[in-house]
Structure 1
Amino acid sequence: MIPLPNEFVITIRSVHKENGEQWLNHFNKLIEKCEARWDIQIMPPFPLSYNFVAPAVRRDGKEVVVKLGVPSEEFNAEVNALQLFNGRGMVKIIDVDLQNGILILERLTPGKMLASIEDDAQATRIASRVMKALWVPASDCLQIPTSEQRERALLNIWLENPEGIGPITKEMLQKATGTFTALNRSIERPYLLHGDLHHYNILKTGSDSWAAIDPKGLIGDREYDVIQFLLNRLPTENWSTVIEKRIAFLTEELDLDRQRIYSWGFAHSVLATCWSIEDHGNYDEAFYQAIQYFWDRCRPI
């Protein structure tokens, strides 16, 4: 029996409601099923957020990673994204059971997170290499969420909260929804994106090689995929200077549009803050502060 942290249990119940409760009730049987089907022993988990993720040892001694999630469209999108990336700058799938929300993944070693790199310039260089490896033009038939769906998600939040939600005012919701619309209508070439790429989702795989994990899968602008990275691992003081340095490097290295980064940064910061309030009743201060930072730098699209 593997005990689950109380905070993780609360998150599963909050996000997945009745389906989450059922999943938690059958969790131990799910563990037993995984161990029997793949002949593995599941070890204590890594720090948990929205899914159960743990190392496991096969009978031959090789280590793998087991990821268990409540079956959902989001879980299916992650699997689709992993299959499409097919190991290109991304962890590889060993096996999958969509019906039961089970992923068996390769174990990346040494597995050090990019968040452990203290030199921000070095971390940004590494992240840019991973981004360059991941991004490819998207096909029209891909079963992956799009930035248009995120636009609709924010519109729905606005419709349900016409006077605002938490610290997000109705004016912010209106501006962010309009920005999403303008950006989506002006995308010239959509790409297959990670969708949640930041310092904690990039792991070291060799002496000088790194790969991404935990893709949400997203079709949209490349500029959108840098926002999560920009807003993670920021200092408490002079954080805007750090963001500017990251943007300066990424725009030059990856041939990105600085103004579209600012606009996507504003729109996504509003959406991410709303999501956090809906799921947890609170929000990330860095994302909330970034709303005004990005908006001050936006120009009409």
Structure 2
Amino acid sequence: MRLPDKFVRTMKSIHKENANEWLRNFDKMVADYEERWELKVQDPFDLSYNFVAPAIRNNGEEVVLKVVLSRKEFLTELETIKRMKGKGMVKLLEYDTEIGVMILERLSPGVMLAEIESDEEAARIASQIMKSLWIAAPVGTNIQTVTDREYSLKRIIQNNPDGFEQISKETLQEALLIFEQLNSEISNPYLLHGDLHHYNILKDGDSWVAIDPKGLIGDREYDVIQYLLNKLPETNVKDTIEKRIDIFVKELNLDKKRLLLRGFSHAVLSTCWTIEDGNYNEAFLSTIDVFNELLSKENISH
């Protein structure tokens, strides 16, 4: 099986020598998986940070094989899937924590929410998935929290006290103050998906199902932001985001002020991450201004 060059470069960039060893042993690992779980691995889906491929078991059952090289990310995703079992989350069939492999159900037809033409309809579907997924945060877990996101931004500011590329010092400081304030106000945290957007919600029969949770502990408003930042049109970005926000606020009974503040602060952090990764995303940068405009429209100072 030939792995896409972009995926290989991404793996080497993130995981360094671990990725080199993993890539060298890749064919043998796949053969071991096939023998152990009695399946045949097919050509992979479009790959980003993990190896994910359809597979067919010897009994004809169609499944998905997922291999996560980062042990921390694997354990977090595994725990999140287990805790959200039966709540609009893809089903976990088998797994091995030592080698970071999951066997998941194959969703059919597997159409992504991104393919829904009506943006408002898609947002309503996403809101129902969010409503079904969110549960009270577990005690005694290693899942990341929104405070970890705050620390991530703090680290970026410490390393770039005069601003970070296209983001001014003042904008960075504003975003950090918002993170600190909102995080301090959380009294009843939730277990969130952590990366819920149009490409992580798939059609399964007559239902829609979430995949690829990152797992995050925090307030519900934070989990909406990643959706707001994805699949944006080339024009009328502000109107699109505003309509999505109004749908989420109504359907999920969210705090609009808090959601807008989360949107601004996370847009800053997301843009910083793209700069750090060498994949600078100008669309994320533009959403910083969009959230500023929406905050001004609501007469919310920050």
TM-score scaled to structure 2, two decimals? 0.95
Structure 2 contact 43–54 (Cα < 8 Å) conserved: yes
Query: Secondary structure in 2 aligned to 1:156?
Result: helix
Query: Secondary structure in 2 aligned to 1:61?
Result: coil
1:53 aligns with 2:30: no
Query: 1:285 & 1:68 partners in 2: Cα distance?
Result: 30
How far 1:33 moved relative to its partner?
A: 1.5
How far 1:173 moved relative to its partner?
A: 1.9
Amino acid of the structure 1 residue aligned with 2:292: W
- Please list the CA deviations of residues 250-269 of structure 1 after superposition, one character each: whole Å capped at 9, or x if unmatched: 10110001111111111111
Q: Which residue of 2 aligns with 1:183?
A: 182
Query: Secondary structure in 2 aligned to 1:210?
Result: strand
4+ residue stretches of structure 1 with deviation over 4 A? none
Query: Secondary structure in 1 aligned to 2:181?
Result: helix
Q: Which residue of 2 aligns with 1:212?
A: 210
Query: 2:18 & 2:234 partners in 1: Cα distance?
Result: 38
Structure 1 contact 198–228 (Cα < 8 Å) conserved: yes
How far 1:154 moved relative to its partner?
A: 1.3
Query: 1:218 & 1:231 partners in 2: Cα distance?
Result: 17
User: CA distance change for structure 1 residues 71 and 30 in 2, over 3 Å: closer, same or farther?
Assistant: farther
Gaps of 5+ in 1: none
Q: Which residue of 1 aligns with 2:245?
A: 247
Q: Which residue of 1 aligns with 2:227?
A: 229
Structure 2 contact 275–281 (Cα < 8 Å) conserved: no
Amino acid of the structure 2 residue aligned with 1:262: L
Q: Which residue of 2 aligns with 1:89?
A: 88
1:285 aligns with 2:287: no
How far 1:174 moved relative to its partner?
A: 1.4
Deviates more, 1:49-58 or 1:81-90: 81-90
Amino acid of the structure 2 residue aligned with 1:291: I
Query: 2:18 & 2:179 partners in 1: Cα distance?
Result: 31
How far 1:22 moved relative to its partner?
A: 2.1
Gaps of 5+ in 2: none
How far 1:300 moved relative to its partner?
A: 4.7
Matches within 5 A, 1:9-28: 9-28=8-27
Q: Which residue of 2 aligns with 1:4?
A: 3
1:271 aligns with 2:265: no
- Please list the CA deviations of residues 255-297 of structure 1 after superposition, one character each: whole Å capped at 9, or x if unmatched: 0011111111111111111112222x13222211111221344
Query: Secondary structure in 2 aligned to 1:271?
Result: helix
Structure 1 contact 80–143 (Cα < 8 Å) conserved: no
Query: Secondary structure in 2 aligned to 1:165?
Result: coil
Give 1:294's match in structure 2, choosing from 272, 278, 291.
291
Q: What is the aligned-residue RMSD (CA, Å)?
A: 1.4
Matches within 5 A, 1:33-44: 33-44=32-43
TM-score scaled to structure 1, two decimals? 0.95
How far 1:240 moved relative to its partner?
A: 0.8
- Please list the CA deviations of residues 163-217 of structure 1 after superposition, one character each: whole Å capped at 9, or x if unmatched: 233312222221111111111001132111000000000001112x101000000
Amino acid of the structure 1 residue aligned with 2:143: I
Deviates more, 1:10-19 or 1:120-129: 10-19
Structure 1 contact 71–99 (Cα < 8 Å) conserved: no
- Please list the CA deviations of residues 63-101 of structure 1 after superposition, one character each: whole Å capped at 9, or x if unmatched: 000011213312211111111111311001111112212
Give 1:256's match in structure 2, choosing from 234, 254, 261.
254
Amino acid of the structure 2 residue aligned with 1:157: I
- Please list the CA deviations of residues 125-162 of structure 1 after superposition, one character each: whole Å capped at 9, or x if unmatched: 11111011001111232331110111111111211222
Structure 1 contact 251–257 (Cα < 8 Å) conserved: yes
Query: 2:10 & 2:64 partners in 1: Cα distance?
Result: 21
Amino acid of the structure 2 residue aligned with 1:269: A
Aligned pairs, number: 298
Among all aligned residue pairs of Structure 1 and Structure 2, give the percentage whose two residues are the same amino acid.
52
Query: Secondary structure in 1 aligned to 2:36?
Result: helix
Query: 1:176 & 1:290 partners in 2: Cα distance?
Result: 13
Amino acid of the structure 1 residue aligned with 2:141: L
Amino acid of the structure 1 residue aligned with 2:289: Q
Amino acid of the structure 1 residue aligned with 2:80: A
